[in-house]
Amino acid sequence: MSRILVIDDEPSIVNLVSAYLKPEGYQVFTAADGPSGLKAAQAYKPDLIVLDVMLPGMDGVELLTRLRRESDVYVILLTARTEETDKVIGLSVGADDYVTKPFSPRELTARIKAALRRLKGSGREGAILEFRHLRIDVGARMVTVEEQPVDLTASEFDLLRALAENRGRVLSREQLLEKVWGGAYFGEMRVVDVHLGHVRQKLGRPELIATVRGVGYRFEDEPL
């Protein structure tokens, strides 16, 4: 049974999300403020977190910043529709996805189900993608560069994997959104740009992911 932690200080939202998730067979934990949310994440080790930005005690961005020091759990951020800054900052500190309020609980549930399906074993479990500088163990969801481990979030790993599996081909933002977030994604395409910016920085070799202006991205490491 997958464990989902919902961190939001609005009881109506917590109850609504829980009402949609529990019938799907998920174990749902909740927290109503930043400090208790961080403690719950550390204690319950959820498979996915739904995190509101505006929280008492500690806002969602600060919580996520602290959480990313010790966990790569998949995080969906809840933001106000008018607060574009929240989306950008949230993605920059490690959110995997975001949903704007007011939101459809059906859409959120679909996003959660799609994310958990990917995390629990879509694709070739035993596949190893090996290149001159980089190695991707698909089953273990591990990446090494020059034999040094690289800590990626779930979405960062999936984006890198999608590009590596299509080495030499240009993938558009739309294609990457489809491969990583699935057909249920209705957010903005810049989520791809932000996450790939993180991947380049973490790999320490930005030249491995080329930007093809006006088209998309291409993976350029040499296969072994």
Read off the pLDDT of residues 100-131 as tens digits, 9 standing for 90 and up. 888 899 989 988 998 888 777 654 556 889 99
The whole model's pTM is what? 0.74
CB atoms within 10 A of CB 24: 13
In DSSP terms, which residues pair with 98 in a beta bridge? 77
pLDDT (0 to 100) of residue 131: 95
Q: Please give the DSSP secondary-structure letter assigned to residue 32.
A: S
Pair of tokens at residue 182: 């699935």
Mean pLDDT of 74-95: 80
pLDDT-above-70 percentage for the chain:
93
Cβ proximity of 161 and 136 under 8 Å: yes
Strand 3-7 vs strand 27-31: parallel, antiparallel, or unpaired? parallel
Return mean pLDDT, the chain. 89
Read off the pLDDT of residues 143-200 as tens digits, 9 standing for 90 and up. 999 999 999 988 899 999 999 999 999 999 999 988 888 765 656 678 899 899 999 9
Q: Please give the DSSP secondary-structure letter assigned to residue 189.
A: T
pLDDT tops 80 at residue 142: yes
- CA 13 and chain centroid, separation: 21
How many Å apart are CA 111 and CA 190, to the nearest integer?
A: 17
pLDDT tops 90 at residue 1: no
Strand 48-52 vs strand 3-7: parallel, antiparallel, or unpaired? parallel
Strand 97-101 vs strand 74-80: parallel, antiparallel, or unpaired? parallel
Mean pLDDT of 88-103: 85
pLDDT tops 80 at residue 6: yes
Handedness of CA 113, 73, 90, 39 (dihedral sign): positive
Q: Is the peptide bond before 149 cis (omega within 30 degrees of 0)?
A: no
Mean pLDDT of 192-215: 93
